[in-house]
Structures are given as structure tokens and as C-alpha cells.
Structure 1
Amino acid sequence: MRVFRGKFRSAVGAIALATAAAAGPVAAPAAAATPAPIQIYGAWHCSDDACTWATVRDMADFDQKNHWLIDRGDGRPSVNLVVLSFVNPLTLLNGTTNSGNSNGVPIGMNSAVVNYFTSHGIRVMLSLGGITYTDDWNTALAQNPTLLGQKAAALASQLGVGIEIDYEQSSSPNVTGLQAFINAYRAAHPYDASGADPTARLTIDVAAGDRWLITLDQYATANWLTTSNPVLDYANAMVPSKQPSAATAESNWQEHLDGKSNYNPAIPPLAPAKFTGGLYIAEGSQVHPECTNFSSSLQNSTGSWLQNAAPNGAGTSTGLLGYMFWAAERPSTRGVTTAPPNSCEGGVGAGATAYSIPTPMPALRQS
């Protein structure tokens, strides 16, 4: 049984890597004169079947379980981005049709679900991968990464969505293959700084800090996430193995800002305008304050830090792009769901009001 299909981080792996290349002291970001407005405020979405999206949803039922995403209680959305998670990259490459997929795409990820969100000004992306599909990423990248990129681009065009790369290979990831995938995708959908073309939005997930997914993090930061020659729009610093404290979350994110000069090869600093920070809203049997109680939430207690985080070697503007929440509806087979009575108007939704989250998402800061 799949108990958890999502962005689960191996604490053991992180500790081992930290021991191999110990981090220096964490520097607090300098205060900015004016906090940067939060531009991205989104949720990964797992449907009601632990992220398989293997059934076509009844849209009345879907609305009942997910209405909080499009209405925080006053008719305005709680988020400005939803990332449908996950598409299996190997299934997409092979164009597999079976009980849960049609031509390589989960049958629940259809135009009805996409339109449910986009009709309320919420941007939609599809996440390609997830930790369950790491081996399938490896196989697909070894088999034909260019064709995979072309198929991902065609899927984006078909549904009018962007694509998120969630490749969680911690040991010797195939960055050459991933470069070919990105080249093929960008040949169809060039980088669009304006953000006007939803299919041009191509992002990547990295670890909560710099001490896991090290090779991928180093390559992505150096080659795809620069402000001078951006290839990917931004990265998501994912959730760690469990909900962090405010101090730990900020410390993790600071690692991306600082980079790791003591690694070989070094991880360069990442511009604040090139990543978001991830938090849990539902985790195992718990519904967190991040879902239900903004005043007690991490998006509240870390908000000042996130909006004032200063560049430390990359970029010129202060403030991370925003927050991503893991995960809407049912991210694990035995876990809680964010459907009523656990819907997230009081946490995520109240935060959208507190931070004046723009819907639709504006053009993102580029520096």
C-alpha cells in the first residue's frame, strides 16, 4: 500500500549529507526598508487518492471537498496557484493507457479540474515525478529525455498549464538527461518573463535546504535559476521530513540564499526571487494550524523573514517569491484530508487576506 506518495524528505539522508559537508552558521537576513509582496501562494494538490489522480472526479464532489481553494469565505481564492501532483514521467513517455491513465496522463487531471481553478484566476501546473516515481524518472531520462520533454510540452499545451519538475534522485541524478528534457520543453515553450503564457511556466523542486538533492541543487542553481540567464522560472524549496519550527524553516531557506561554498562543486547562492518555501498543511493524521489557524501558523511567524530575506551573492531584490503548501485534499492513503471539516480557509485563506495575495498571479520578480 502506498502510505505516502509525496514530497517526503529522508531525515537520515539529510543528516548523513550534513555530516559529510557540515554547514556553517546561519546568517539572519538583513531587514528591508519595504517587505517584498508575496507573489506565489500555492498548494500542491493530491486529489482524493493519495496523488494518483487515477479516477475522473465528480465535479460536485470535487467542489465540496476543495471549495476552500477557490473561496476563502468572501468569494476570493485562498491561493493563486495549484499544482496537480503527480504525473509519472515514464508513463507519460510511453503514452500508457490503463485504468488510471490515458495516453500517459492520469485520467483525473483533465480540463474540468483545470478549468475549475483557472476560472477563478488560479494558475494551474502539473507536477512531473514525486518521490514515488524517482526510479521512473531515471528510466525515462535514460531512455529518451528529449521525447519526454516534447510530450510534457504537448501536455502543457493540451491543458493550458505549466510543468513542475519533481525529480528526487539524491544519488547521481541524470542532470544530462534532465538538461535534454528542459531543452526540448523550452524549444516548444520559451522562457516568458511576463508570465502571460501559462505553458511557459517551468519550475523545479529542490530540498528544503542545501543538504539533500545536492547534485541536482548545485546544477539547477548554477545553470537554470540565475537571474542573468534564467532557464527555469523558479524553484520550490520543498517540505522537510516533518513540519519544521519557524527557526528551522528559515535556516533551511537561508541555506539556498547562502549556497555552500565548502561543497565540491560548490552550490552557488540562489536569488530570493528564484524560489518559494514549502510548509505542510496536512501531514499524516494531523491537520496543522497552517491549514486552520493563521495566527498560529508558520506562514504567519515566518512571513516577515520571508518578505525581507536579503540576497547574499545572487539577485538584487529582497524577499522569497512566496509559499507552497503540501498538500490539498488527501496526500496519503491513511492520512487526513483537507476536505471539510478540515478545510483551510482559516489558515491558508486567512493568510491570503493578511498578505494581500494577488489573484491572478502577477508577473514574477526577475532579479
Structure 2
Amino acid sequence: MRVPFGNVKSFAAAAVLVAAAAVVPAAAPAASASAAAGTPPQVYGAWQCSNDACTWATVRDMADFDQANHWLIDRGDGRPSVNLVVLSFVNPLTLLNGTTNSGNTNGVPVGMNQAVVNYFTSHGIRVMLSIGGITYTDDWNTALSQNPTLLGQKAAALASQLGVGMEIDYEQSAGPNTAGLQAFIDAYRAAHPYDASGADPTARLTIDVAAGDRWLIDLDQYATANWLTTSKPVLDYANAMVPSKQPSASGAESNWQEHLAGKSNYSPAIPPLAPAKFTGSLYIAEGSQVRPECTDFPSSVTSGTSAWTQGAAPAGAGTTTGMLGYMFWAAERPSTRGVTTTPPNSCEGGVGAGATALTVPVPMPPLRQN
């Protein structure tokens, strides 16, 4: 879960997740292989929130944007710190309605423009846009009830316009409109079919699920069973989002193991998810704290989980070892309160050093499919 604006609805959802995350296994299962023998991350990305708590409601001065975010394109030796940036967030209802106002043009935040996309792609970094976020959950529900097919078509047209992929961040914890979301995905895929090669950036379509299997349960079950299989993939992969606060290494591994194993005791059961079909997420800045994820890779949870994630074995789905990679929440200013990842808190020593230590490929290679 991510809390972009610090509003009442976000904190209420955070409280739900704190309760859901309170019961975790005492110890995470051991990794099936060492990091040396495991699979290096293929996805190593950051959600990007601009300077206004994820609204992107102003056009950025690109010199200022570079000063605030240079660490993303340069880990200190000229190589990018990440191979993916996800610009967060597009309001799904605003996109459906094609709203033009002070912060949007034809339904798209004015700050999510070609200049920002090119800033990253010119350095070999893939770009996606995230539709939703917890603040826009009600707007997802409204848009899916009104015209999910048109919403999917508009998302596909936006992907074509900017040359980007799309992420579904629909955080409806109970009774999500999966039929509407299916129609959205069908419409998007009609324009941009699944591309196993990864060559077409507009064909990249992903979804966010909870840190483990005990929140967003209905969405998790439906997505795992219908969209994230290795035999007939519809979405490229899922992101297991951050929990309410930075987990310990063992806590993170326990959450991610839930996706690997599924929940056979649920009705309907959540099937196992192939390691190659999801990433795990961690904070780089959280509240008033800059995490070691940003500044000190050797002491970070990323480092502490790296052997486990690279050696994570299939537990009922998939054939290859190792999770797909890591995502980090969030670059620049993810909330109106709290720290940012702008200088002096830029993240070359955390995310950037991790890219070197984990031999992250830039640009992103074709992703494992099984």
C-alpha cells in the first residue's frame, strides 16, 4: 500500500493494512539457493511522485527536475540507478472523462509529459504510468462502473502517445469490480497485445497487489488465477506493494512467500504465483526517515533479502528460480509531509549501489516468462 497524499482515506486504509500485516509467520522459509547461484533482478524500479505528492499537477522545469532526481539516471558512475520509473498517479475517472483543468489536460496530469518521459528513456530507463493509487480507489470504482472499456481504450491511447506502459493500482480491499477491470484489460490488450519480448513499451501492463496474500484478497485471487499465469499470461507481472511500514528482511520474505505459495485454505483459493511473475517492494523514504534503501545499501532490507529473492523457488507455479526484482516507494516527494529523495537525500548509495551489487541490467532485458 502507498499513502501518497496523507489524507484521511489514506490513513484509514493504512490502519486496515497494519491489522492485516500484524500476523506473519515467525520465520521466513529459507532461500533455495544463494544469491551467487540465484537469478539477478530483471526489474529494479522506483515509483516517481514529482514534487507535489504524486499529483503531477504542474509542468516541471527540467533543470529543477534533474537536480531533484539526477540520482535515478546516474548512480555516481554515469550508469542509471534503476531500469524502470513508474510515474504516479493518473486518476482513472479524470482519464475516462478527459478532464481539462488546472492540473490535467484531456484527463492526464500536465506534469506527465514527453519531456519527463524522455528524460528517463534517453538513459535506457523504461517508463510506465500508474493509474490509481489508494487516494483514487473510489474513482476507480466509479470509472469501472461507468465505462471500463472506454477507460482501457483511453489508457492504451495515452500509452501510444507517450511511448510508455501502464500499471493498474486499484486498491479496493473488499468487493473489487473484477468484471470491470477485466473489460479494461481486454480493451487495453486489443490495442497493445501481450508482448513476451518486451520490445514494445506500450505493451507492458502490470498490476499492484498487497505485500502478502492477506489484503486486497479478492483482487489478488482473481489476478493470480486469470492474468498472471505462465501458461496464458495477460499481464506482464505484479508488484507486491509496500506494507504500512518498512518490514524487516524476514517480514518481507514471509510476505513474498505468501504469493509464491498462495492460500489454498481461502475460498476461492489464491493459487501460487510464479517467482518470475512478481516483484517485491520496499520504502526508500518513509515518513520522517530516509531508509538505508536510499543511502546505505549494505545495511538495507534490499541487501538483507537479496539472497532470498534471487533464490526464491517455485512453490506450485513457474519453473525458474528467483523473484522478478524490486520496486521502491517512492522517488522525490511521495507525501505532503515527510522526507524526500532530493539532495542531500538522493539515493545513489542505496538504490544505486544496489544496482551495482545486484548486477541489475540497464536497459531492462526481456523478462523471464516461467
Fold shared, TM-score > 0.5 on shorter chain:
yes
- In 2, the alpha carbon distance for the partners of 1:156 and 1:176 equals 22
- In 1, the alpha carbon distance for the partners of 2:9 and 2:346 equals 19
Partner of 1:28: 30
Residues 242-271 of structure 1: CA deviation (Å, up to 9, x unaligned):
000000000000000000000000000000
Contact 1:5/1:50 (<8 A) preserved: no
Once the two structures are TM-superposed, the CA of residue 218 in structure 1 deviates from its matched residue by: 0.1
Asked if residue 304 in structure 1 is aligned to residue 307 in structure 2, the reply is: yes
Partner of 2:188: 185
Q: Which amino acid in structure 1 is aligned with residue 155 of structure 2?
A: A
Once the two structures are TM-superposed, the CA of residue 241 in structure 1 deviates from its matched residue by: 0.2
For the residue of structure 1 that corresponds to 2:37, the secondary structure is: coil
Partner of 1:241: 244
Partner of 2:351: 348
The residue correspondences of 1:32-111 to structure 2 (distance < 5 A) are 34-111=37-114
Partner of 2:165: 162
For the residue of structure 2 that corresponds to 1:324, the secondary structure is: strand
For the residue of structure 2 that corresponds to 1:302, the secondary structure is: helix
> What count of residue pairs does the alignment treat as equivalent?
366
Residues 204-227 of structure 1: CA deviation (Å, up to 9, x unaligned):
000000000000000000000000
**Structure 1 unaligned runs (5+)?**
none
Contact 1:91/1:105 (<8 A) preserved: yes
- In 2, the alpha carbon distance for the partners of 1:186 and 1:360 equals 24
- In 1, the alpha carbon distance for the partners of 2:95 and 2:338 equals 27
Q: Which amino acid in structure 1 is aligned with residue 271 of structure 2?
A: P
Partner of 1:151: 154
Residues 304-359 of structure 1: CA deviation (Å, up to 9, x unaligned):
00000000000000000100000000000011110100000000000011111111
Contact 1:8/1:239 (<8 A) preserved: no
Once the two structures are TM-superposed, the CA of residue 16 in structure 1 deviates from its matched residue by: 5.6
Once the two structures are TM-superposed, the CA of residue 23 in structure 1 deviates from its matched residue by: 7.6
Partner of 1:129: 132
Contact 1:6/1:51 (<8 A) preserved: no
Q: Which amino acid in structure 2 is aligned with residue 242 of structure 1?
A: K
Partner of 1:208: 211
Q: Which amino acid in structure 2 is aligned with residue 172 of structure 1?
A: G
- In 1, the alpha carbon distance for the partners of 2:354 and 2:284 equals 13
Once the two structures are TM-superposed, the CA of residue 30 in structure 1 deviates from its matched residue by: 2.2
Q: Which amino acid in structure 2 is aligned with residue 132 of structure 1?
A: T
Contact 1:93/1:104 (<8 A) preserved: yes
Once the two structures are TM-superposed, the CA of residue 6 in structure 1 deviates from its matched residue by: 11
Contact 1:45/1:84 (<8 A) preserved: yes
Partner of 1:358: 361
Q: Which amino acid in structure 2 is aligned with residue 365 of structure 1?
A: R
Q: Which of 294, 298, 319 pairs up with 1:295?
A: 298
Contact 1:7/1:130 (<8 A) preserved: no
**Structure 2 unaligned runs (5+)?**
none
Once the two structures are TM-superposed, the CA of residue 14 in structure 1 deviates from its matched residue by: 4.0
- In 2, the alpha carbon distance for the partners of 1:133 and 1:2 equals 11
Once the two structures are TM-superposed, the CA of residue 2 in structure 1 deviates from its matched residue by: 3.6
Question: Structure 1 residues 7, 45: closer, same or farther in 2, change over 3 A?
Answer: farther
For the residue of structure 2 that corresponds to 1:346, the secondary structure is: helix
Q: Which of 320, 325, 348 pairs up with 1:322?
A: 325
Partner of 1:174: 177
- In 2, the alpha carbon distance for the partners of 1:6 and 1:190 equals 35
- In 2, the alpha carbon distance for the partners of 1:125 and 1:108 equals 14
Contact 1:287/1:336 (<8 A) preserved: yes
- In 1, the alpha carbon distance for the partners of 2:24 and 2:70 equals 44
Partner of 2:336: 333
Question: Structure 1 residues 169, 126: closer, same or farther in 2, change over 3 A?
Answer: same
- In 2, the alpha carbon distance for the partners of 1:337 and 1:14 equals 23
Once the two structures are TM-superposed, the CA of residue 34 in structure 1 deviates from its matched residue by: 2.2
Q: CA RMSD in A?
A: 2.1
The TM-score normalised by the length of structure 2 is 0.95
Asked if residue 284 in structure 1 is aligned to residue 287 in structure 2, the reply is: yes
Q: % of aligned pairs identical?
A: 80
- In 2, the alpha carbon distance for the partners of 1:12 and 1:60 equals 38
- In 2, the alpha carbon distance for the partners of 1:102 and 1:280 equals 31
Question: Structure 1 residues 76, 25: closer, same or farther in 2, change over 3 A?
Answer: closer
Residues 50-91 of structure 1: CA deviation (Å, up to 9, x unaligned):
000000000000000000000001000000000000000000
- In 2, the alpha carbon distance for the partners of 1:68 and 1:124 equals 16
Contact 1:7/1:239 (<8 A) preserved: no
- In 2, the alpha carbon distance for the partners of 1:18 and 1:53 equals 31
- In 1, the alpha carbon distance for the partners of 2:331 and 2:11 equals 15
Q: Which amino acid in structure 1 is aligned with residue 292 of structure 2?
A: P
Q: Which amino acid in structure 2 is aligned with residue 208 of structure 1?
A: A
- In 2, the alpha carbon distance for the partners of 1:149 and 1:227 equals 23
